[in-house]
Structure formats: structure tokens, C-alpha cells
Amino acid sequence: MNWRFDKTLSLTVAVGLLGTEIIRTDAESAGLEGNEFDRSPHFSGSAAIDWKPIDRVRISAQVRRHSPYFTDPENSPEVRVRSSLRIDARAQYDLERVSLFAQVRNVFDALNMLDLSDPDPLTSLPQSGESEDPRTFAAGLEVRF
């Protein structure tokens, strides 16, 4: 959903709800019946705000969240990714054909996992994983011809 309150302020909200279940399998995969699909959070959502307090300045921010999900079809608790929250922000100043901007991604430097590998049989801990990027700062100059 998008709301434009006036020409200077807008808000965008998105919500995703998902329910999955493996309902039919072959003999080889019978142990998966009733499990959730891997990498399928029940909830995902985002909200973004875009504000132009004056004509040449734009400030924007985005927040994203998802619920926990399993990273394997067996739904092993050891490789369940926790819910996460991520916030990004950006400020921009526009001139004639030039824009100056500064942004920060992952404002609170949260360790948000995307994937976890199969657990080690000896320790029951994931052997490896993939995370979102840590907090990053960027500044730049955009020129339009």
C-alpha cells in the first residue's frame, strides 16, 4: 500500500503472510510430510517513508522484518533462522543535474542470518551460514547528463 499524504511525504507498507506444508511425498521423502517448506517465513513486512522537507532535500528510511524460518526441508531446529529486523536510511540533496547523498544500511548493525548449513553430527551446531551485510555507510555524487 502506498499513501501520499501530500507532495512532500509518502509512506509505503507491504505485508506478506505465508503458510506452507508438505502434504504429499514419495517413499524416500516420507519423513518430510507435515513439515514447512524451507526458507519460508510465515510473516514478512516492510515500511518505507520518503520526506521532502524542502524542495532540494529528500530523507528516506526503510524497515524490513521477517519471522523465523527453517533452512532445511527436515525443519531441524539447529538450522532455524531467527526473526530479523533491518533498517536503512538515506539523505539526498539535489542541485541542477547533481545529487549528493549519504546513506547507512543496517543502521543498528544487526547480525541477520539468511541461511544456515546442515548441523554437524557431533555438535548439532550449524557448520556455516550466510548473513546479511553488516552496517555500511556510503556517500556519493550522482551526475545526470
pLDDT tens for residues 29-74? 888 999 999 999 999 999 999 999 999 999 999 999 999 999 999 9
Separation between Cα atoms, residue 121 and residue 137, nearest integer Å: 39
Give the per-residue pLDDT at 117: 83
* pTM for this prediction: 0.84
Give the per-residue pLDDT at 41: 97
Sign of CA dihedral 104, 107, 110, 115: negative
pLDDT classification of 123: cutoffs 50, 70, 90 = confident
pLDDT, tens digit (0-9, with 9 covering 90-100), for 64-121? 999 999 999 999 888 899 999 999 999 999 998 999 999 999 999 999 999 988 777 7
